[in-house]
Structure 1
């Protein structure tokens, strides 16, 4: 008996030991009574999430998602530090669902680095719905080298219920519960905190000679940041090394003294070892590293040779400041936002300018398409940044600089609070757009405010607070980054009637007569600015018995099989992409319109081991589907069609019977790379180049329609959709 009891106690002891060795609560068995939820699990979305004790796969608890009225999705998620090495990562788990409709359920696995998703899968394409008993599911992804965070989760969209249990996460087949965590590298750069509270740099006597020297320093600083091996290893905080260099450098009396200071600075970081893996520039490169500036400053031979030596033996591999996202675009790492920056601090203002200029110089695939020679921009902006006296001046300087890359992806929403404040907190109850070159009322956000607004649809606004519309465009145009004029006017129109006053005077033309009115303005939350005219619960409908219509703004994955079935015998289909698609459909829907596998796009990607070089990847193809649509396809686009919308249009253009109708699109395509600037400012750039298979550019020019049709003021007055009417006409020809 004693022997039996001893065995039982030993088993219990081993069981307890086994349980305590579990580092992560992936089976929901550790319950947190304080929060009435499984310990360390998080809930995302607007569905109801809870721990269930009745429906379980094993043990005492499971995680449950249940739809709410008007809810759209729910995610029950667990975050794990990515303190592991390996090549592949697999999430397995059990799921049970009941009455899941108008959506899907599944596991979710995402790996993030530097606050950016590096890899991910949510099982949406498996379209799991309905009612199903417990089943084992799994996701396997390549494990990114730059991984910092692993998120495992269960997800459910639409309506119904879903239960999740017994998650197991493995890396290279080894359970993460038992894996030894890797030792985190401690970078010397991260330990350097000397200038966190200020650079102590003051730029005085900003004459032409000093501006030229500061331009050179900015280019040398960026070159060393991305090429010098010691910087790439993370051995130096390169922001603060700039601050250490600046005082003595700015006091140099002539070019010889300047060059000797630069040589002394470079020698501080040690001898350069021979690089045995550095490659010559690819003969097929779309863009090559631009070092032409080495010949523009009268550098002495020794300095020029030293910089060339660094270039020939540049850093290779995992870089402290540069990563590569799984989508192929550059990922900017370890860039401190310096939220507490003092805006009279000349050092941090120069740092912002240097940081942005060099990121564009080495990692922007469309640098060759900017209106200005990018090599000339740095010098122009040095006095603008140095002379910025406050945060508003600084924000405006940054926006102007961002505008110089002519990229509509250059958003300036996050951190630019002072600019947003001066644009105004009050908004009009009506929508305006530029039609035929004039500012026209095109709709109402709140129809019940028509009487007080007074202006009618089709009225032309000629002045705001006595200032002509063209004068307003001229004064604010530089502060709306855009690839082309159509996108710039689109963005200006969204703000042009904003104000910090509760009403503004507008001069306008209505029925050929001029008039003026004090237009009342409202807080954004009091207006229905996200109104929709789409009155169907489906993204598609018949607009005539023989013509189908699809809007990608509301399309869902589950719509696609139905679309192919109900529209298969129609004379034509109109796809409206005057919006941003809610679901990625280039392949799933695009394959319906090609009779054979057809190339439609190719990308240019940067080379992390040879910064400044971009090369083409092989063209992507639209695969032929099981069924090919035989009618005409007409795709509608305009300046609202941007990024994914433009990419999707390219996919549809691959069809033999497709016609693109409309006007210039936004001309901004390619996965975005985010850039943080000192002061907590966030902006983006198009991070990969997008081209047609023959190499034709899409950036800035956008998608060129086969048939150009634009709305007219008369058409707006009559409530016509002239693009849609043209599409119907083309199908009926």
Structure 2
């Protein structure tokens, strides 16, 4: 995923304002006027980010007595920023939320300033804007700015504030928050529903599973499937009448203590009946053209008994509700929003009930809402059965999170990983890094760059070194050990993920055997913490988005592109006879409908989506073909070379699909990451944040991009000798192809 300040990955922040029945404006201190003696910031405000000075200022202010000053350090450490923030409980109802505030800034020569508005649900961030795309910098006196975002009914927290990224000083004052155009504290207060009032198992599930027999494993597997079906199909659960996590904890002891099959059937039947009456409805027809259909044949299995069959069939065909407490679809796009999923950050890892809940929650999200479930290419029910002993037998944070990471890897999606690996996982992989970046070249891990040039050159490692052993283990051993914990859509991208974890340790050094000039050398390489090593230093590393490689060949790097550059740069590009688009990056702006039409003489379809179903979970159907461009006599008429590789992922792949529709274009390089489609976030017990590709992305003819990626017309890969010589062989090949075509 893209690692920029737009993520602001503070995934577990406290409420700074308690819910109140009749809040008043002063309760939230948005004008910074309340400040307790001895505190550097106004009451109810906190600092986000590191290194920057963030303090109350009574000299410069827009109104009243105080403002807040954010001042950059000199020098500015990599990846740091300054922000002042406050958190308000999202107890209000509405459709749109707006933050207004005054900013004054001085000598912001690069970077940007902005207001910050972030809406979090229980499962993570729902909406976010920090005005980065506006690139506001320079020097300016007080001026009011505004951010508007959709306001979800599943919002749990509202984070507001201001941010400075880069050098200079920023003052902020007089913030205001509105919902549907009115001060937020005047908006209707949301009433808690039954699921939120159930607190019985807040301190633990009380589930004990000591003796796991094959029969019990199968019973638990069947329960996990049934639990998920009821979660997404039963009207009483969908409307939030039950805390479905806690219902699992209620039924588990009853099921595991049952003495016979008949007793188990009776327990489950009574449990389901107690959920409440079901209004009968008619069966929802599943289109024959559906790409995926619900796997519900087990509902008619005679082994579950006729009475249970009839009950489950009634639930499947029940009169449909208009909303669901646990799931919705994002407007316009259609990827799933997994709502109101409690992250349980304080769970005890020794609690078998919560570990089993994590497995059941994730498995059913994939079962019903993963558009590429068919590409898993193994029996997904068998995966559930396989992982039940794994989740039950682990007892500490490290083994629990590694088991979760292994499960995530089984869906074969580069969007699926554990994003917040702080703590146990970070310790497992190593909290310190060698200053060198590894890339698999010719199927071997090769030093291709440094995270820190000065430290890298002192480390003893050189660009082009082939790493053969690390701490006495061969690369083959390390691949076998780490591959299950390196989720990705295809093997080359798994190696990309894995390579970033090879030169990590919890010690101060790493023993490395390398091959250089066909000779093996043993090195002791120093390792450093992230205070000295920026592991994202080479992300979108190019210093410009555009240059002329020769008088006739233009070069475009989307990782630095902004759509505001269109009017200035396209006339220059039009003068060239050949254009290289280097998509070995993540586009810094959405180019599909801005730059894309410039490459086309007429409208052309380039993609179609599959979307899941709110009413019949597990169903995915195709939407219409989406086209790009229009009649355009001034399109780019030169030859185009598009460069891709395993770092071309997600939006980069989607953008590449667009550009591929241009006439006279050749794609060169190697397999891309194979993870297209909007990301849907998932949270699991233990505050584990992950996600999936939430929308199926296909070419107009129905060919898949997931796992396959963007297939190059001409396979071109780097060589070790080219790395040693400092060559960019893909770029050289692109130049050669354009030169030879003249």
Tell me how far apart the structure 2 counterparts of residues 481 and 471 of structure 1 sit (CA, whole Å). 18
Structure 1 pair 509–320 and aligned structure 2 pair: CA distance change class (3 A): same
Tell me how far apart the structure 2 counterparts of residues 64 and 429 of structure 1 sit (CA, whole Å). 35
Which residue of structure 1 lines up, in the alignment, with residue 257 of structure 2?
251
> Which of the numbers 283, 291, 302 marks the counterpart of 1:286?
291
Structure 1 pair 77–599 and aligned structure 2 pair: CA distance change class (3 A): farther
Which residue of structure 2 lines up, in the alignment, with residue 630 of structure 1?
637
Q: Give the deviation of 1:360 after TM superposition.
A: 1.0
Larger Rg: 1
Structure 2 contact 544–557 (Cα < 8 Å) conserved? no
Which residue of structure 1 lines up, in the alignment, with residue 732 of structure 2?
725
Tell me how far apart the structure 2 counterparts of residues 415 and 132 of structure 1 sit (CA, whole Å). 39
Q: Give the deviation of 1:722 after TM superposition.
A: 0.9
Tell me how far apart the structure 2 counterparts of residues 167 and 346 of structure 1 sit (CA, whole Å). 46
Tell me how far apart the structure 2 counterparts of residues 472 and 674 of structure 1 sit (CA, whole Å). 30
Q: Give the deviation of 1:724 after TM superposition.
A: 0.4
Tell me how far apart the structure 1 counterparts of residues 53 and 169 of structure 2 sit (CA, whole Å). 10
3-state SS of the aligned residue for 1:601?
strand
Tell me how far apart the structure 1 counterparts of residues 165 and 457 of structure 2 sit (CA, whole Å). 41
Q: Give the deviation of 1:542 after TM superposition.
A: 2.0
Instruction: For structure 2, list consecutive stretches of 5 or more residues without a partner in the other structure.
Output: 1-22
For each residue in 1:584-603, what CA deviation from the matched residue of structure 2 results, as whole angstroms up to 9, or x when unmatched?
A: 32222223222223332232
Which residue of structure 1 lines up, in the alignment, with residue 655 of structure 2?
648
3-state SS of the aligned residue for 2:504?
coil
> Which of the numbers 581, 591, 600 marks the counterpart of 1:575?
581
Which residue of structure 2 lines up, in the alignment, with residue 361 of structure 1?
367
Tell me how far apart the structure 2 counterparts of residues 217 and 338 of structure 1 sit (CA, whole Å). 22
Tell me how far apart the structure 1 counterparts of residues 507 and 68 of structure 2 sit (CA, whole Å). 50
The alignment yields a C-alpha RMSD, in angstroms, of 3.9
* Within-5 A mapping of 1:185-584: 185-275=191-281, 279-295=284-300, 298-313=303-318, 316-326=321-331, 328-414=334-420, 417-448=423-454, 453-527=459-533, 529-532=535-538, 538-584=544-590
For each residue in 1:50-83, what CA deviation from the matched residue of structure 2 results, as whole angstroms up to 9, or x when unmatched?
A: 7798886x98988898888778987777766554
For each residue in 1:103-149, what CA deviation from the matched residue of structure 2 results, as whole angstroms up to 9, or x when unmatched?
A: 77777766544364545666777777889999887766655443445
Tell me how far apart the structure 2 counterparts of residues 462 and 328 of structure 1 sit (CA, whole Å). 46
Which residue of structure 1 lines up, in the alignment, with residue 5 of structure 2?
none
Structure 1 pair 519–239 and aligned structure 2 pair: CA distance change class (3 A): same
Tell me how far apart the structure 1 counterparts of residues 117 and 346 of structure 2 sit (CA, whole Å). 35
For each residue in 1:404-457, what CA deviation from the matched residue of structure 2 results, as whole angstroms up to 9, or x when unmatched?
A: 111112222425633332322332232222111122232334454567644443
Bigger shift: residues 581-590 or 616-625 = 616-625
Q: Give the deviation of 1:219 after TM superposition.
A: 0.7
> Which of the numbers 96, 114, 134 marks the counterpart of 2:122?
114
Asked if 1:690 is matched to 2:697, the reply is yes
For each residue in 1:378-397, what CA deviation from the matched residue of structure 2 results, as whole angstroms up to 9, or x when unmatched?
A: 11111222222433322222
Tell me how far apart the structure 1 counterparts of residues 169 and 514 of structure 2 sit (CA, whole Å). 55
Structure 1 pair 164–602 and aligned structure 2 pair: CA distance change class (3 A): farther
Which residue of structure 1 lines up, in the alignment, with residue 666 of structure 2?
659
Structure 1 contact 590–622 (Cα < 8 Å) conserved? yes
> Which of the numbers 108, 133, 146 marks the counterpart of 2:154?
146
Bigger shift: residues 538-547 or 127-136 = 127-136
Structure 2 contact 356–388 (Cα < 8 Å) conserved? yes
Structure 1 pair 122–590 and aligned structure 2 pair: CA distance change class (3 A): farther
Bigger shift: residues 531-540 or 497-506 = 531-540
Which residue of structure 2 lines up, in the alignment, with residue 8 of structure 1?
none
For each residue in 1:545-567, what CA deviation from the matched residue of structure 2 results, as whole angstroms up to 9, or x when unmatched?
A: 22222323333444443322332
For each residue in 1:303-343, what CA deviation from the matched residue of structure 2 results, as whole angstroms up to 9, or x when unmatched?
A: 11211111100652332222334553222233223333333
Q: Give the deviation of 1:711 after TM superposition.
A: 0.7
Q: Give the deviation of 1:370 after TM superposition.
A: 0.5
Structure 1 pair 477–112 and aligned structure 2 pair: CA distance change class (3 A): closer
Structure 2 contact 110–138 (Cα < 8 Å) conserved? no
3-state SS of the aligned residue for 1:380?
helix
Structure 1 pair 262–302 and aligned structure 2 pair: CA distance change class (3 A): same
Bigger shift: residues 556-565 or 435-444 = 556-565
Tell me how far apart the structure 2 counterparts of residues 81 and 341 of structure 1 sit (CA, whole Å). 22
Which residue of structure 2 lines up, in the alignment, with residue 3 of structure 1?
none
For each residue in 1:4-39, what CA deviation from the matched residue of structure 2 results, as whole angstroms up to 9, or x when unmatched?
A: xxxxxxxxxxxxxxxx97578899495658678787
Structure 1 pair 176–398 and aligned structure 2 pair: CA distance change class (3 A): same
Bigger shift: residues 91-100 or 447-456 = 91-100
Structure 1 contact 49–63 (Cα < 8 Å) conserved? yes
Tell me how far apart the structure 2 counterparts of residues 567 and 419 of structure 1 sit (CA, whole Å). 46
Tell me how far apart the structure 2 counterparts of residues 488 and 40 of structure 1 sit (CA, whole Å). 44
Q: What's the TM-score, normalizing by structure 2?
A: 0.83
Which residue of structure 1 lines up, in the alignment, with residue 710 of structure 2?
703
Q: What's the TM-score, normalizing by structure 1?
A: 0.84
For each residue in 1:444-479, what CA deviation from the matched residue of structure 2 results, as whole angstroms up to 9, or x when unmatched?
A: 344545676444433323333443211221222112
Tell me how far apart the structure 1 counterparts of residues 345 and 146 of structure 2 sit (CA, whole Å). 41
Tell me how far apart the structure 2 counterparts of residues 136 and 259 of structure 1 sit (CA, whole Å). 64
Tell me how far apart the structure 2 counterparts of residues 730 and 103 of structure 1 sit (CA, whole Å). 37
Q: Give the deviation of 1:203 after TM superposition.
A: 2.1
Q: Give the deviation of 1:221 after TM superposition.
A: 0.9
Tell me how far apart the structure 2 counterparts of residues 150 and 626 of structure 1 sit (CA, whole Å). 48
Structure 1 pair 501–371 and aligned structure 2 pair: CA distance change class (3 A): farther
Which residue of structure 2 lines up, in the alignment, with residue 4 of structure 1?
none
3-state SS of the aligned residue for 1:676?
strand
Structure 2 contact 605–628 (Cα < 8 Å) conserved? yes
Q: Give the deviation of 1:283 after TM superposition.
A: 4.8
Structure 1 contact 603–689 (Cα < 8 Å) conserved? yes
Bigger shift: residues 120-129 or 647-656 = 120-129
Structure 1 pair 168–598 and aligned structure 2 pair: CA distance change class (3 A): farther
Structure 1 pair 312–590 and aligned structure 2 pair: CA distance change class (3 A): same
